[in-house]
A and B are shown apart, each in its own frame.
Chain A
């Protein structure tokens, strides 16, 4: 058919094609590096696979083993507790720091960089740093507590204090959240504060009734990504309690789900079982995220959705 003979394409079709072309690198990446591994993991979860030999189909055996594995429950409990402790702590601290930075004036640029810098620290280094800072005998944390007459706990060995130590250490990388919230704060219209001041509202009421609602979209974003990150916590705890920081000493209290999954996959070579663990984690994260999205309708305010 000659070019002239073709029906003229609509602008929408041209735009759609251009859009697909522009996003195609991402789409290809997603298909190859996310969707394919996800589907293959799903397949492996029904097999007995040790990396060397061919996967051997075992039906739902891995999932049945998973239900009767005490360590799965322990790892899930540890992960949930850590996530529940760390996510709100991280968000509240990020918001406080962002509020302070918002008032910093000319020096805001310097502090923004200063807060963000720790985020550049490799997670393995953070794990090692944890052991140094939280050492019960000579660590900086107990040293500081000692100034106030507090005899600090054995953060790195007492099962009761291992997770609080990890939560505190996770605050090391709070800088990225601070930057996101600072950007949201900068977008809150000044006239809202002006109107509130005219009505006699103080700092607290302005924060609770203007700042937080207007930043709720960013707060919700942080809630989602921090919750997912909490469920997938691995490197810092692994380094400190299972890897290079402690090659033989370990602590059950730090056995996060991702660590147990790693052990099964790469130490014990139970790839099929580890795949079943991965699928369960995927399902849990999906459910929790769906619940969060559903609940967000009651507390997240999007300016673009105003009637």
Chain B
């Protein structure tokens, strides 16, 4: 038996080499020679990956896009959140969808790997007016000086608080909107309540680890340089922001306690933290206003923008974007589709449909943040006073925040960079490292990922 072993290994090695030799990627397929013209008549198939027309904002715009494409273009949706693996494999195998809908943070990674194409020709040819897009949104889809995505939607954060708890503690929104960190820390202690060693009211939730970029920016620091090449995770201002945000939890017995209590809350139900008066205040994305308005319209809530240390409104923008995959068989239709989905008139029609729907449901219309400044203005004009000051306050705060956003620039190692700083924050929250140690490690990991990815791109 032992004598046969070398023979087996020889066969195995030969097979491996044979298979390896057969292995061939499709990464070198040529870009389509497309001609973009807004008046051109289009035909063929248009497969859309990662987008679902689940609500009127999606379905009305989709109808508009179908109209713009004409009856000769057959649109097919591959619904659900974008499966990155499925998408990349489809590109690698030469069978990509014609257009892809992705998170804006993914655009840099896709672009750097050649999975999506630059949209310069599409933008010029179809006449997409990029000046209407919010700059932070456009920055997120601009990689190495070229636009790779057409942005849509904007998610921003605002301060959301329990007015009843604030009042009882003799506090105001100014104490919890982030403009004065000492005031936030003091409010946290005043609002927090314990019973039998267990938290019964979370005073303030700084929403770590996900909101580190917001706290760092409020303290005057960015996690990454504007060109997306240099990590700035060990910046003293970032570390100071991290210490403050973690200190908010430490003052309440530690992150474990706050998280355990937070996780047990009925977040999307009528017994949410504000309705049950178990949370003083937190910065939170604007979509949660709609949840609160739907499930607990009578909850004692109050809203303001999140503010930096100078008292200026501040929000970290995120959202989605349309991209055209490499090898797309109908880039002309894809371009017009992306253009129509994000144009002002489509957004306005979609918003009108939502106003009608909310009216029939007896709910209020809180607006839609589109990532398109022109559309945002027109839709904001459609928002009518609700007769309830707190919800009007929420809309006001949302739109103000929308005018004061920032974003992290597109880079080829987006996921790794994010993992580096989030893991660092988590190590601090779990008590495994000090903020300085954690961010030093994150800086090393994040910079290594950026260096390698940029080097690969610049090869």
* Chain A residues within 8 Å of B, Cβ to Cβ: 36, 39-40, 42-43, 49-55, 131, 135-139, 151, 154, 156-159, 248-253, 263, 266-269
CA distance A295 to B363 in the complex (A): 70
If A54-B25, A250-B423 touch, whether A154 touches B257 (CB-CB below 8 Å) is: yes
Q: How many residues of B contact A (CB 8 A)?
A: 47
A residues less than 8 Å from B19 (CB atoms):
36, 39-40, 43
Contact residues of B between 68 and 125, Cβ < 8 Å to A = 84-85, 88-89, 91-92, 109, 113-115
B residues less than 8 Å from A51 (CB atoms):
85, 88-89, 92, 113
Contacting pair A151 B264 (CB below 8 A) = no
CA distance A158 to B340 in the complex (A): 50
CA distance A239 to B20 in the complex (A): 34
Contact residues of B between 17 and 61, Cβ < 8 Å to A = 19-20, 23-25, 27-28
Contacting pair A252 B210 (CB below 8 A) = no
* Chain B residues within 8 Å of A, Cβ to Cβ: 12, 15-16, 19-20, 23-25, 27-28, 84-85, 88-89, 91-92, 109, 113-115, 197-199, 209-210, 255-257, 259-261, 263-264, 326, 413, 415-416, 419, 422-423, 426-427, 429-432, 449
**What are 21 residue pairs bridging A and B, where the CB atoms are less than 8 Å apart in the complex?**
A39-B12, A43-B19, A51-B92, A53-B25, A54-B25, A136-B256, A137-B260, A137-B261, A154-B257, A157-B256, A157-B259, A158-B430, A159-B432, A248-B422, A249-B209, A250-B423, A251-B426, A267-B415, A267-B419, A268-B416, A269-B109
Contacting pair B260 A154 (CB below 8 A) = yes
Contacting B415 at CB < 8 Å: which of A135, A156, A248, A268? Answer: A268
Contacting B88 at CB < 8 Å: which of A40, A52, A263? Answer: A52
Contacting pair A251 B260 (CB below 8 A) = no
Nearest 6 A-B pairs (CB), nearest first? A54-B25, A154-B256, A136-B260, A53-B27, A137-B260, A43-B20
Total of A-B residue pairs, C-beta within 8 Å: 108
B residues less than 8 Å from A159 (CB atoms):
430-432
Contacting pair A137 B264 (CB below 8 A) = yes
Contacting pair A248 B210 (CB below 8 A) = yes
A residues less than 8 Å from B197 (CB atoms):
151
CA distance A232 to B292 in the complex (A): 42
Contacting pair B199 A52 (CB below 8 A) = no
| Interface-centre pick from A52, A131, A158 (highest chain B CB count, 10 A) | A52
Contacting A52 at CB < 8 Å: which of B16, B92, B432? Answer: B92
Contacting pair A249 B89 (CB below 8 A) = no
Contacting pair A50 B264 (CB below 8 A) = no
Chief secondary structure at chain B's binding surface: helix
Closest partner residue, chain B, to A161 (CB atom) = B256
B residues less than 8 Å from A138 (CB atoms):
260-261, 264
Contacting pair B28 A137 (CB below 8 A) = no
Closest partner residue, chain A, to B17 (CB atom) = A43
A residues less than 8 Å from B413 (CB atoms):
268
A residues less than 8 Å from B264 (CB atoms):
135, 137-138
Contacting pair A137 B427 (CB below 8 A) = no
Closest partner residue, chain B, to A50 (CB atom) = B113
Q: How far is the CB of A161 from chain B (nearest CB, A)?
A: 10
CA distance A90 to B49 in the complex (A): 43
A residues less than 8 Å from B419 (CB atoms):
263, 267-268
CA distance A151 to B198 in the complex (A): 10
CA distance A137 to B429 in the complex (A): 17
Contacting pair A157 B416 (CB below 8 A) = no
B residues less than 8 Å from A250 (CB atoms):
422-423, 426
B residues less than 8 Å from A43 (CB atoms):
16, 19-20, 23
CA distance A13 to B156 in the complex (A): 74
CA distance A137 to B442 in the complex (A): 31
Contacting pair A137 B199 (CB below 8 A) = yes
CA distance A252 to B158 in the complex (A): 31
If A43-B20, A135-B264 touch, whether A52 touches B27 (CB-CB below 8 Å) is: yes
Q: How far is the CB of B79 from chain A (nearest CB, A)?
A: 18
Closest partner residue, chain B, to A247 (CB atom) = B210
Closest partner residue, chain B, to A49 (CB atom) = B25
Q: How far is the CB of A173 from chain B (nearest CB, A)?
A: 23
- Other than the known A158-B256, A269-B88, what 14 A-B pairs have Cβ atoms closer than 8 Å? A43-B16, A51-B85, A53-B25, A55-B25, A135-B260, A135-B263, A135-B264, A249-B426, A249-B429, A252-B426, A252-B430, A252-B432, A267-B415, A267-B416
B residues less than 8 Å from A42 (CB atoms):
16
CA distance A266 to B83 in the complex (A): 10
Q: How far is the CB of A215 from chain B (nearest CB, A)?
A: 31
A residues less than 8 Å from B12 (CB atoms):
39
A residues less than 8 Å from B263 (CB atoms):
131, 135, 137, 156
Contacting pair B209 A248 (CB below 8 A) = yes
Q: How far is the CB of A20 from chain B (nearest CB, A)?
A: 18
| Interface-centre pick from A36, A151, A249, A252 (highest chain B CB count, 10 A) | A249
Q: How far is the CB of A93 from chain B (nearest CB, A)?
A: 27
